[in-house]
């Protein structure tokens, strides 16, 4: 078995394609993503990722490279900013598709929200997803947030298992894209030592 070198870095605007793919993989429902962004959904998601004030902006994403090749991405933001970021996202959708989708709120104030994570098929099973989620949590906690939240489809036990292994616990259930999703959170661990 060959050891792979996985590097996580801040995304750049030219990473819009991998960010769009990560969002598509996270939604994991072609009908839902078409309803959200139209038939040319990858192009719309890429345009959303190229902009600064959107949910899937490159400014809020991390990218993983395996042996120097882009393999996956994670994107997220302060849950308190959801409404503002949706404005920018919906502006792009309106420009590209001519309508604004109706969508449930998946996060709220008080959590740094892991919106989407995705790894290209040829890099799955190498630990890239785990490394991206850990890097995202480190970024959030390093910026002073005390909690990272996400939702996971109840029909995706493999993803839920990964999140639970990384310290996430269920705090509730949320509807999203017509599915019931588990709402999970990971709290920042205190590093204080009792004397």
Could you report the per-residue pLDDT of 55-89, keeping only the tens digit for each?
Answer: 999 999 999 999 999 999 999 999 999 999 999 99
The pLDDT of 115-126, averaged and rounded, is: 95
Tokens read off for 14: 């030219």
Q: Cα(first)–Cα(last) distance of the chain, in Å?
A: 45
The pLDDT of 129-158, averaged and rounded, is: 95
Architecture of domain 6-187: 3-Layer(aba) Sandwich (3.40)
CB distance 16 to 68 below 8 Å: no
Phi, psi torsion values for 112, nearest 5 degrees: -90, 115
Beta bridge partners of 61: 75
CA distance 104 to 34: 16
CB distance 139 to 59 below 8 Å: no
Instruction: Write b or e for each residue in 29-48: b if 16 or more Cβ atoms lie within 10 A of its Cβ, otherwise e.
Output: eeebbebbbbeebeebbbbb
| In the chain, where the domains are located | 6-187
- For all residues of the chain together, what is the average pLDDT? 92
Residue identified by tokens 């590093």 is: 191
């Amino acid at each position: 078995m060959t050891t792979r070198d996985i590097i996580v870095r801040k995304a750049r605007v030219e990473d819009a394609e991998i960010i769009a793919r990560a969002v598509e993989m996270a939604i994991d429902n072609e009908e839902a993503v078409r309803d959200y962004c139209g038939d040319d959904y990858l192009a719309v998601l890429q345009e959303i990722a190229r902009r600064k004030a959107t949910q899937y902006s490159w400014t809020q994403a991390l990218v993983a490279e395996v042996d120097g090749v882009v393999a996956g991405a994670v994107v997220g933001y302060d849950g308190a900013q959801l409404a503002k970021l949706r404005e920018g996202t919906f502006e792009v959708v309106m420009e590209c598709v001519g309508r604004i989708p109706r969508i449930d709120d998946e996060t709220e104030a008080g959590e740094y929200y892991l919106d989407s994570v995705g790894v290209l098929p040829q890099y799955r099973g190498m630990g890239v997803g785990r490394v991206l989620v850990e890097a995202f949590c480190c970024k959030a906690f390093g910026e002073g947030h005390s909690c990272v939240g996400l939702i996971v489809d109840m029909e995706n036990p493999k993803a839920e298992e990964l999140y639970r292994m990384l310290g996430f616990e269920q705090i509730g259930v949320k509807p999203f894209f017509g599915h019931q999703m588990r709402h999970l959170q990971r709290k920042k661990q205190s590093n204080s030592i009792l004397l």
